[in-house]
Structure 1
Amino acid sequence: MAKNISAEEAQKWLIEEIAQRLSVAPADVPPDQYFDELDLDSTQALIIAGEMESWLGFELGTTALWYHPTIEALAAHIAEESQKHTAAA
C-alpha cells in the first residue's frame, strides 16, 4: 500500500541508504550531487531502487533517475508520485 511521503522524508531515506552503501556518514552525501557522481555501482543502485519501491509501496518509472538525476530532484518527484498514488487509493 502506498504511503504519502514528503520530499524531506524521501530525501532523508535516500541519503541514509546511499550513505550506508558507501560506508560514509549521511552528512557526506550531498543532496544536490548527481547520482552518476556518487560511487555506487549498478548493483547497489538496483538494490536501493528495489528497497525504495518496497518502502514507497509503488514502482517508480524506469526513467525516474534519468529525469531526476539528484537526490533532491528524485525526492521531490517521489513526493509528487506518492501524492498521486495515495489519492488514487
Structure 2
Amino acid sequence: MVKVTAGEVQEWLVQKIADRLGEDPSSISPGQYFDELDLDSTEALVIAGEMENWLGFELGTTALWYHPTIEALSAHIAEESAQRGAAA
C-alpha cells in the first residue's frame, strides 16, 4: 500500500484525466466536478481501477458521490491512506 498526500493524488488524477481526454494537464481544474469532465463511465472506471492498483486499496463505491471534485477526492484519499498506514 502506498501512503500518499492530497497533492500527489491530485497530480496523479489530473494527469490521468488529461491523458484520457487528450488535453494538457494545465487545462484540468482540480475544483471542477467530475460530471463536468468529458469522461464516459468506462473511462472513469478505468481510471478508478488504475488508482486502486496504484494505492493498493479499493475506493468506496460512494467516494465520487461524496467527493465530487478532483480536489475533494484527493483530500479524502490522502486521509484514507494515512488511516490505513496508521492501522498497518
Q: Fold-level match, TM-score > 0.5?
A: yes
Q: TM-score, normalised by structure 2?
A: 0.98
CA RMSD in angstroms comes to: 0.5
Number of aligned positions between the proteins: 88
Q: Does 1:61 align with 2:60?
A: yes
The residue that corresponds to 2:38 in the other structure is 39
Output the amino acid matched with 2:52. Answer: E
The residue that corresponds to 2:75 in the other structure is 76
Q: TM-score, normalised by structure 1?
A: 0.97
Deviations 1:9-46 (A, max 9, x none): 00000000000000000001000000000000000000
The residue that corresponds to 1:12 in the other structure is 11
Secondary structure at the aligned position of 2:61 is classed as: coil
- Between the aligned partners of 1:56 and 1:74, the Cα distance in structure 2 is 13
- Between the aligned partners of 2:60 and 2:6, the Cα distance in structure 1 is 17
Moved over 4 A (4+): none
Secondary structure at the aligned position of 1:15 is classed as: helix
Secondary structure at the aligned position of 1:39 is classed as: coil
How high is the sequence identity, in percent, across the aligned residues? 68
The residue that corresponds to 2:21 in the other structure is 22
- Between the aligned partners of 2:79 and 2:42, the Cα distance in structure 1 is 26
